[in-house]
Structure 1
Amino acid sequence: MLLLHGLGGTSDDWKAVMRELAPRHRVVAPDLPGYGDSGPIPGTSPAAVADFVWAFADALGISRAAVMGHSEGGAIAISMALQRPDRTTHLVLVSAAGLGRLVNPLLMVLGATPLGDLVPRLAKLPAGPEALVAALALFGSPRPWRVPKPWFTKMRQAASSTGVLVHAVVTLRQGVSARGQENLLLDSLPGLTQPVLVAWGTHDVMLPVSQAWGAVRRLRHGRLALVPCTGHLLPIEAPERLVAAVAPFLAEDGPRTERTVRTEPSADTGAAST
C-alpha cells in the first residue's frame, strides 16, 4: 500500500494507520515533494507529484499497489490510478481534494488574496508555528483534543520552516482560487477501473461531505464510508475507525459493480459509520 499525505503534512500523518494495516500489508508512506525529508520538484500539480510517486515506487521495486490518499494526497492518488491503471489495484480517497468546487472560505482567501503570503512570515514569529498548528487542528477536527500530541509536535516543526510554508501556499494557489477548488477531477472518475473507496468525516468543514456522495455516483466501482463526528483530519484523529472501513475493502479481490453502504459501530458515539 502507498499512503499519500495531504497539503502541509508528512508521512508521519499515517503512523497510526500504518500500525493497523502493517500486519496484513506492506505499507509505505513517503514524504511528498517539498515536505518532511523530501525536497521539492519543479511541478506541484497532482499529475506531477503522481509521476514522482510512481518513480519512488519503481525505486522500491513496487510493481502494483493499492493507493490511499488524504486531501491533496487524494487528488494525487486519482492521478496515479489514471496514469497507471495496470499498477493500481485499489484506490482509497480520504476527504480527497478536487472532487467539487466548494472549499472552506479561509482556503479561498489564502489561495486567492495576498493574505496567503503572510503564512510563511508567521514561521518567524515567536508563537507563529503554534498558532498555525492550532488553527489547523481547530478547523481539521470537531474534537481537536483527540488529535495525538506527536502530531502537534511534528506539525510545529513543519510550520517552523519558511520553505515548507511557501511550498504549501504555492500548491494551495494552484488548486484553490476565488471560485473555489480548481483542477477538478470529477469528470475523470468514470475512467477509473479499480475498486474505489471514498471515506469522509461527517463533520469535515474544509471539504464538504456532499462531495463524497457526488464522487461515488460517478465511479464505476465506488464504495462510501462516512465516519461520524470526525473532520478533515480523519486519518489522524480516528485511524482505527478509518482502517475498520478500509481493511475489508482491501480484502476484496476485484471490483464490485454495486454501490454498497457499510455500517460500522462507532465506539465513542454509539452512532453508525456508513
Structure 2
Amino acid sequence: MPSVLKVISFIATVALLGGCGAIVDRRADTREAGAEASFPPTGQLLDVNGRQVHAHVEGRGPDLVLIHGASGNTRDFTFSFVERLKDDYRVIVFDRPGLGWTDRVSDDFGGPFNTAAESPTQQAAFLQAAADQLGVNRPIVLGHSYGGAVALAWGLNRPQDTAALVVLAGASNPWPGGLGAFYDIASSSLGGAAVVPLISAYAPMARVDAALDGIFAPQSPPPGYADYIGAGLTLRRETLRANARQVNSLRPHVVEMAARYPTLPMPVEIVHGTADDVVPIHIHSEPLARQIPDAVLTRLDGIGHMPHHAAPDAVHEAIHRAAVRARLR
C-alpha cells in the first residue's frame, strides 16, 4: 500500500503543477458533457427527498424491478432484455445511486475527497422510495452482480412487501482476498481527487471495449451493445468515484446481510453461470442457495457473468417461476 500511495502522490503532483489540473478538468468536463448529450435518460426522473432517481418503465402486468450491477446503468437491461419481459410484466428499471442518471443518496457520499459509500441497504431504501412513487406493488426484484446484493437488501428491508427475488450472478457472500489496486486507488481520497479525473479525461475507448470483453467472457458482447450502453456515463468523475467506493466497501455489508438471509420469506430464484470469473458461483450463489430456505439455484453451464445476454431464455424462465411461486401468475 505505501508504494501505491507514492504513485498516487506523484500523479497528483504532476497533474496539479503548472495548471495541469485545470487542463485535466476541462478535458473531463468536455467528455462528460458529450457522454450526457449522447446518452440521455430513457425514462422518467423522480424526486426522492430532493434527489434524482432515473426509472425506465415499460409493459403491463405484475411489477418487476430490475437493478443493474457495478459500472452499469439501466441501458444494460433496456438494450434487449426489457423487450422480452414487457408483455408479461410492468418492468421498472432503476439506475442505482451515483450511476447513470440517479444521484447519490446524500451529499455525505459525494466529493472527490470523501470515501464514504452507500450500503446495499441504503441503496435499496432509496430505490424503494422511488418505487413507491410509481405505485409499485409487491414486486419481483431482480438484481444482477452488485445489484444482487441490493435486491437481497430490498427483500430484507421489506420482506412482506416483496413478492419474490431473482438473484442473477449476484454478489451475495464474502470473498477471499481483495479487489485489486484500481478499486483501492479510485476509492481513496487522494485517488478520487487526482487519479479519477485523469481516467475521465484520457481513458481510451479501446480499454472500455477490452473491459466489456472481460465482463462477458467466455461469451462476447452482443453486436451494438458497446455503442448502446453509454460507457462515457460510467467514466464521469463522480460516477467512477461512486462505483469504486461502493464496490470497495461491499464485503462487510454482505457479511452482515448473510446472517439474515435465512429470514427471507419470499420465493428466491438464483441464476448463475458456471464460467463466471467475475462473481464466482462457488463463492456466492452456491452458499446463497443453502442460506435461504427453498431457494432454487439454476446453474448455467459454460455461461459467464452476463446471463441475461448470453442465456436470456433461462433468466426469463426463472422470473416466470418466481412469479408462479409468488402466486402472481
SS in 1 for 2:159: coil
Instruction: Specify the alignment match of 1:162 in structure 2.
Output: 237
SS in 2 for 1:2: strand
Instruction: Specify the alignment match of 2:246 in structure 1.
Output: 171
The TM-score with structure 1 as length reference comes to 0.81
Distance 2:163 2:92 in 1: 15
Instruction: Give unpaired runs (5+ residues) of structure 1.
Output: 176-180, 255-274
* Structure 1 range deviating more: 94-103 or 25-34: 94-103
Superposed counterparts of 1:1-274, under 5 Å: 1-15=64-78, 16-42=80-106, 44-102=118-176, 107-111=179-183, 113-114=184-185, 117=191, 118=195, 121-125=198-202, 127=204, 129-144=205-220, 146-175=221-250, 181-184=251-254, 185-210=257-282, 211-253=284-326
Instruction: Specify the alignment match of 1:178 in structure 2.
Output: none
How far 1:236 sits from its partner (Å)? 3.2
Instruction: Specify the alignment match of 1:263 in structure 2.
Output: none
Bigger Rg over Cα: 2
Distance 2:196 2:308 in 1: 24
Instruction: Say if 1:231 and 1:155 are closer, same or farther in 2 by CA, change over 3 A.
Output: farther
How far 1:157 sits from its partner (Å)? 2.1
Distance 2:320 2:265 in 1: 20
C-alpha contact (below 8 Å) 2:164/2:326 kept by paired residues: no
Provide the alpha-carbon RMSD of the alignment: 2.3
Instruction: Give unpaired runs (5+ residues) of structure 2.
Output: 1-63, 107-116
**Aligned letter for 1:168?**
N
**Aligned letter for 2:231?**
R
Instruction: Say if 1:151 and 1:29 are closer, same or farther in 2 by CA, change over 3 A.
Output: farther
C-alpha contact (below 8 Å) 1:8/1:35 kept by paired residues: yes
How far 1:200 sits from its partner (Å)? 0.5
Instruction: Say if 1:69 and 1:114 are closer, same or farther in 2 by CA, change over 3 A.
Output: same
Distance 1:193 1:98 in 2: 17
Q: Give % identity.
A: 25
How far 1:199 sits from its partner (Å)? 0.8
SS in 1 for 2:323: helix
Distance 2:197 2:275 in 1: 28
**Aligned letter for 1:163?**
E
Distance 1:3 1:173 in 2: 22
**Aligned letter for 1:14?**
F
* 4+ runs deviating over 6 angstroms: none
SS in 1 for 2:229: helix
